[in-house]
Amino acid sequence: VRRVGIVGCGQLAQMMAQEGRPLGVAFSFLAEGDENTGCVDGLGTVVHAREGADVETLYRAMGSPEVITAEREQVSVELLRALEQFCPVYPRPDAFEKTQHRLREKTAITAAGLPVAPFLPANSYDEICAAVAKLGYPAFIKSCENGYDGKNQWRVDSDEALAAIRDEVIAQGEQEYVVEKGIHFSREVSLIGVRSADGEVLTYPLAENDHYKGTLLVSKAPAPDVDDKLQQAAQDYLATLLNEWDYVGVLAMECFVSDDGLLINELAPRVHNSGHWTLAGAKTSQFENHIRAILGMPLGDTDAERPAVMINMLGVDKKPTLPNEGVWLYGKSLRPGRKMGHVILVDDTQEALSTRIEAMLEELYGETKRPA
Ligand code: ATP
Ligand code: MG
Ligand code: MG
């Protein structure tokens, strides 16, 4: 049997395995540090990477997979490079190196001739202030590493707000930051693309994303009222990156639809939360296509026949009873705001779907329709 090794043991690893197993693929998982492995229980061998364990031993303990991938961008690039001695690692370690650090990421996107929000690097509170003075308000200050779900970043819209974060920034100690100009956007969209080892590129329809307190709550796909021009522009951006980086696997691209057109916000070198709708809304899921791509299998059709929506279950783990196309529960222990699962709805029209989204949000979160 063909075996894939996944670095990481969260819900993305879980869904890659659930979608890959029907293709006849076996999985093993590498847990780093004290990572929780509950999500991948019963889906394959779990190996714990201990401090000092040599890489060949880890690779053999994983059952000598024919290819290795990862479920998150904050993974040790050094470890990935060491694993490359034994089998291909896709996406390539270079792709992780670029995307796990916001400054390197923006520099790489710009180098490929693609647009991002104006930005400046900063390594101290004083440099942050100087950058904000140049870029103007509102500004976003983001730590270059370890940011997700809006964590490790601040939005400031006045001198007072900038002064108010001073102690917090200083308390972080030495850190690299990127300061970005706040973009006025009509909406946020994302594109999931996949490139196979032999260079075939496919993309899904754009999804429109609504966040709540920095965390994705709702993804609609195809994004309502997207004209062919916007879809085409996004596809061209992503294809440029996939081809220039000789990328293999799924790459996710988050964008702002701004007054100046489509701007890239950030990339994720992996399957992405805004692509979960593909589990029930597209002919082939992003998870299956990622596994196909890294194993050199032909890619599956990315078409969506009807509008779909994915609603995250944040801090709730009770299966909703309203009609749906599937509920995925990740099997994690309950914590406020934590991504516990998601539900997918599919319908004939965006209008029909809108009504059902509101009802589903109410069932999940009560009257406010928002997570606690
Ligand atoms: P994710 O969980 O998607 O990885 P993250 O923590 O990496 O999120 P970003 O995606 O960079 O953070 O930012 C989170 C959100 O903050 C964005 O989705 C957007 O709503 C807002 N935001 C970030 N940067 C800007 C900007 N330059 N202008 C306007 N809004 C922004
Ligand atoms: Mg991010
Ligand atoms: Mg983001």
The pLDDT tens digits of the residues spanning 98-124 come to 999 999 999 999 999 999 999 999 999
Question: Which atom of ligand 1 sits closest to the CA of residue 151?
Answer: 6
pLDDT on residue 337: 95
Q: What's the pLDDT tens digit per position in 67-95? A: 999 999 999 999 999 999 999 999 999 99
Number of other CB atoms surrounding residue 352 within 10 Å: 14
- Over residues 134-143, the pLDDT tens digits come to 999 999 999 9
Each residue of 234-290: pLDDT tens digit? 999 999 999 999 999 999 999 999 998 999 999 999 999 999 999 999 999 999 999
Nearest ligand, measured from the Cα of 211: 1
What are the sequence ranges of the domains in the chain? 2-89, 118-181, 185-365
| Cα 61 to ligand 2 centre (Å) | 31
pLDDT at 307 over 90: yes
Could you tell which of 106, 177, 253, 265 is best to mutate to test the pocket of ligand 1, judged by most ligand atoms within 8 Å of the CB? 265
Q: Is 149 in the pocket of ligand 1 (CB under 6 A)?
A: yes
CATH 3.30.470.20 is right for the domain spanning 185-365: yes
Give Cα 245 distance to the centre of its chain: 18
Confidence check: pLDDT of 65 > 90: yes
Q: Is 117 in the pocket of ligand 1 (CB under 6 A)?
A: yes
Hey, how many other C-beta atoms are within 10 angstroms of the C-beta on 166? Answer: 13
Would the pLDDT of 41 be above 90? yes
Look at residue 84 in the predicted model and tell me its pLDDT.
98
Using one digit for the tens of pLDDT, what is the confidence trace for 291-305? Answer: 999 999 999 999 999
123 among annotated binding-site residues: no
pLDDT for the residue numbered 206: 98
- One-letter amino acid for residue 41 of the chain: D
Q: Which residue has the tokens 């994705």?
A: 216
Nearest ligand to the CA of 183 is 1
pLDDT of residue 260: 87
User: What's the chain's average pLDDT?
Assistant: 97
**What is the pLDDT confidence band of residue 356, given thresholds at 50, 70 and 90?**
very high
Q: Kindly identify the ligand whose nearest atom is closest to the C-alpha of 147.
A: 1
Which amino acid residue places its CA nearest to atom 23 of ligand 1? Answer: 140
Of the chain, the percentage scoring pLDDT greater than 70 comes to 100
265 is in an annotated binding site: yes
Nearest to 302, CA basis, from 279, 288, 325, 283 = 283
- The CATH code for residues 118-181 is 3.30.1490.20
pTM for the full predicted model: 0.97
Top CATH class, 2-89: alpha beta
Q: What are phi and psi of 259, to 5 degrees?
A: -60, -25
Q: Taking each helix axis as running N to C, give the angle between helix 286-294 and helix 11-20, from 0 to 180 degrees, rounded to the nearest 10.
A: 70
Both structure tokens of 3: 């075996």
Query: From the CB of 183, is ligand 1 less than 6 Å away?
Result: yes
- Taking ligand 2, which is a single-atom ion, which protein residues have CB atoms under 5 Å away? 148, 266
Q: Please report which confidence band the pLDDT of residue 222 belongs to, taking 50, 70 and 90 as the band edges.
A: very high
| pLDDT score recorded for residue 51 | 78
